[in-house]
């Protein structure tokens, strides 16, 4: 959000108060200076007003979908006492209030979740994070579940009258997942080089669920841009690539550009 410009009348009043308090004018060093007149607001113009409004959404984004998690009791409303694997396993039996399909997991991932106790090395449930995303003074539980093709399912659970309710469920091939204030922000790659999608999910009191309140496509930050490939030197005599002096890298070793962040 761009910072708003202070109206001229307000700047004048602030200057007068500062002059009385500090016995110095606004023209002194460090004083307020006018940034010029603000541009006049332009009323939006409706295009093709004769078109009938759409009566249904073009696709289901999973927004507003919730599910009561069966068999989970939240003592004292403290989700930190819950075992994330138990929550993920119980969530496989949950019935959503509507069917977007975004709460479903691939069969292979479901089998791995069910086998988390016996095969913990293959368990796709990531370490949980906690944050008060609803503003009621109690933490919500944020879970990530690894899926094939480098996709990640992200789910948020809210303590609800002694039980547990899933208030967000989505998945994407994410660059990063972040907690910022009361927002959960997911960044995903774009087909446009140098750009990425940024979706902020926020609690909505009316819907009683997390909704994607901001969906943007932005330039990729400089610190996450991939370095340019180095030019391979050639032997002028033969024209073939010269041996590299760099240490060879292990092709099986990869370093993620970003990891999920939050308040553990």
Digitized pLDDT (tens) for each residue of the chain, 264 residues in all: 333 333 334 444 434 444 444 444 445 556 667 777 777 888 889 899 899 988 876 666 667 889 999 999 999 999 999 999 999 999 999 998 877 666 789 999 999 999 999 999 999 999 999 999 999 999 999 999 999 999 999 999 999 999 999 999 999 999 999 999 999 999 999 999 999 999 999 999 999 999 999 999 999 987 666 544 444 454 544 444 444 434 343 333 333 333 344 444
Contact partners, residue 41, CB within 8 Å, separation at least 6 = none
The pair of three-digit structure tokens given for residue 172, joined into one six-digit string = 């994407």
Distances (CA, A) of 139 to 89, 103, 158, 163, 213: 21, 22, 8, 14, 20
Helix axes 84-91, 107-114, angle to 10 degrees: 130
Pairwise CA distance, residues 178 & 200, whole Å: 9
């Amino acid at each position: 959000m761009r910072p708003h410009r202070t109206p001229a009348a307000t700047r004048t009043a602030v200057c007068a108060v500062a002059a009385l308090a500090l016995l110095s004018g606004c023209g002194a060093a460090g004083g307020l200076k006018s940034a010029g007149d603000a541009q006049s607001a332009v009323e939006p113009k409706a295009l093709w007003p004769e078109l009938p409004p759409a009566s249904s959404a073009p696709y289901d984004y999973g927004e507003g979908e919730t599910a009561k998690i069966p068999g989970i009791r939240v003592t004292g409303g403290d989700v930190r006492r819950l075992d994330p694997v138990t929550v993920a396993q119980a969530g496989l039996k949950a019935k959503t209030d509507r069917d977007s399909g975004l709460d479903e997991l691939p069969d292979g991932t479901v089998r791995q979740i069910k086998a988390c106790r016996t095969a913990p090395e293959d368990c796709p449930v990531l370490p949980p994070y906690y944050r008060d995303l609803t503003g009621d003074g109690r933490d919500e539980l944020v879970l990530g579940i690894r899926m094939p093709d480098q996709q990640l399912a992200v789910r948020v659970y809210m303590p609800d009258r002694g039980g547990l309710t899933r208030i967000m469920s989505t998945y994407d091939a994410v660059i990063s997942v972040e907690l910022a204030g009361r927002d959960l922000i997911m960044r995903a790659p774009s087909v446009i080089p140098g750009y990425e999608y940024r979706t902020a999910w926020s609690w909505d009191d009316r819907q009683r669920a997390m909704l994607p309140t901001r969906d943007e496509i932005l330039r990729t930050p400089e610190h996450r841009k991939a370095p340019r490939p180095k030019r391979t030197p050639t032997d002028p005599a033969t024209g073939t690539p010269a041996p590299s002096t760099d240490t060879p890298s292990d092709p099986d070793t990869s370093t993620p550009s970003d990891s999920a962040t939050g308040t553990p």
